[in-house]
């Protein structure tokens, strides 16, 4: 915990609005989807929060020894839970599309199978 | 990267897949989503809360209103939106030190503080602040005297908390703008005090 605090604690200037809010670009997309869908009424924020609490509790109850806690992984899982529960998408479709994206040839613009994300996510709907 | 079992796929791919599908089904307007992200990445941050605190320090009527109806008084400054619908403001005193946590997830008053810092989301902070607040505060650099009562506020309902720190001595000549520059995010969560300039 001390190490975490050292990076982002008292030393972080309070008005640094340019402070890195998201560690990786995909986190900002997951954040944006949840907020947008809640505003649009696909689910309520309370419902999303319930799913987030459940996902965090599940991670805390059962994770590999030494595995780093990643808040936005829980957030993404909660988002998928809510989208599926709302009947908007089914889990198979998301998994299938993910697998399809994973198979893009190397050298493709967006062939980022690792955690090198990018700041947009639309326009691939072909 | 070859195809992996669904739950092992990287969050990068899952996020991209989810967004593509939601946009294709017109459940998400990318322009609306981009605006939300940009707002919380670039515009909304602890400076908003600092302005609220500085006004409360310099305007007794505003301070009374803020403590009575935090939501309305904060909205009066132009700060509202998601996670700010039910604001409660906690005033630090010589007798009581308030500190805010969200044990179950990471609820946080976005309109006045922006999105939470990583330590606020950390399981060590969330669990430790409830069990041994004095020790966690000391680890974060704040010594609360033994005789002083510590109140830990868990954001477990729809309420979001903002801590109104004590105004440091020697700042009588400063105006609200100069005072706002002293107020830190950590002081508004209750893990620090505001230092004199």
Chain B residues lying within 8 Å of A110, measured CB to CB = 16
Nearest to residue B43, comparing CAs of B116, B110, B107, B121?
A: B110
d(CA A88, CA A82): 9
Residues in CB range of A117: below 8 A, 6 or more apart: A24, A25, A26, A29, B12, B15
Q: How would CATH label the architecture of B46-189?
A: Alpha-Beta Complex (3.90)
The pLDDT of residue A43: 96
The pLDDT of residue A22: 87
Using the Cβ of B114 and the Cβ atoms of chain A, whether some distance falls under 8 Å is answered with yes
The pLDDT of residue A54: 96
Q: Is the pLDDT at B156 greater than 80, yes or no?
A: no
Residues of B with active-site annotation: 102, 105-107
The pLDDT of residue B187: 97
Q: Tell me which residues of chain B, numbers 38 to 77, contact chain A at a CB-CB cutoff of 8 Å.
A: 40-47, 50
The pLDDT of residue B91: 98
Measure in Å the smallest separation between the Cα of B132 and chain A Cα atoms: 14
The pLDDT of residue B43: 86
What proportion of chain B, given as a percentage, has pLDDT over 70? Answer: 95
The pLDDT of residue B183: 96
pLDDT tens, N- to C-terminus, chain A (126 residues)? 333 333 343 333 333 444 568 888 999 999 999 999 999 999 999 999 999 999 999 999 999 988 889 999 999 999 999 999 999 999 899 999 999 998 887 665 554 444 444 444 444 433
Q: Is the pLDDT at B45 greater than 80, yes or no?
A: yes
**What DSSP line would sit under A4-36, residue for residue?**
HHHHHSTTS-TT-TTS---SSHHHHHHHHHHHH
Domain with CATH 3.90.330.10 in chain B: 46-189
Q: What pTM does this model have?
A: 0.83
Chain A residues lying within 8 Å of B46, measured CB to CB = 14-15
What's the farthest any 2 CA atoms get from each other in chain B? Answer: 65
Q: Is the pLDDT at B27 greater than 80, yes or no?
A: yes
Chain A residues lying within 8 Å of B125, measured CB to CB = 1
Q: Are strands B87-91 and B160-164 parallel, antiparallel or unpaired?
A: parallel
Using the Cβ of A34 and the Cβ atoms of chain B, whether some distance falls under 8 Å is answered with no
What's the farthest any 2 CA atoms get from each other in chain A? Answer: 47
């Amino acid at each position: 915990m001390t190490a975490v605090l050292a990076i982002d604690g008292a030393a972080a200037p309070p008005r640094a609005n340019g402070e890195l809010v998201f560690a990786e670009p995909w986190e900002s997309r997951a954040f944006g989807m949840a907020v947008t869908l809640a505003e649009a009424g696909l689910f309520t924020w309370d419902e999303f929060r319930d799913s987030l609490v459940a996902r965090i509790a599940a991670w805390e109850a059962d994770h590999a020894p030494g595995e780093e806690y990643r808040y936005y992984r829980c957030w993404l899982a909660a988002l998928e839970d809510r989208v599926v529960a709302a009947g908007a998408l089914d889990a198979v479709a998301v998994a299938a599309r993910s697998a399809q994206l994973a198979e893009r040839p190397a050298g493709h613009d967006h062939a980022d199978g690792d955690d090198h994300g990018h700041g947009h996510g639309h326009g691939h709907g072909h | 990267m070859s195809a992996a079992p669904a739950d092992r796929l990287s969050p990068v791919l899952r996020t991209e897949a989810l967004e593509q599908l939601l946009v294709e089904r017109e459940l998400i307007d990318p322009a609306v989503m981009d605006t939300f992200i940009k707002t919380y990445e670039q515009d909304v941050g602890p400076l908003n809360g600092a302005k609220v605190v500085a006004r409360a320090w310099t305007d007794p009527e505003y301070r009374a209103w803020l403590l009575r109806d935090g939501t309305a008084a904060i909205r009066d400054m132009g700060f509202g939106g998601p996670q700010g619908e039910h604001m409660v403001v906690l005033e630090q005193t010589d007798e009581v030190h308030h500190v805010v946590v969200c044990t179950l997830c990471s609820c946080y008053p976005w309109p006045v503080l922006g999105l939470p810092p990583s330590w606020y989301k950390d399981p060590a902070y969330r669990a430790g602040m409830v069990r041994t607040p004095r020790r966690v505060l000391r680890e974060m650099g704040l010594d609360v005297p033994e005789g002083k009562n510590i109140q830990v506020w868990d954001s477990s309902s729809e309420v979001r908390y903002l801590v109104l720190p004590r105004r440091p001595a020697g700042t009588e000549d400063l105006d609200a703008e100069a005072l706002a520059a002293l107020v830190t995010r950590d002081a508004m969560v209750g893990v620090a005090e505001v230092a004199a300039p």
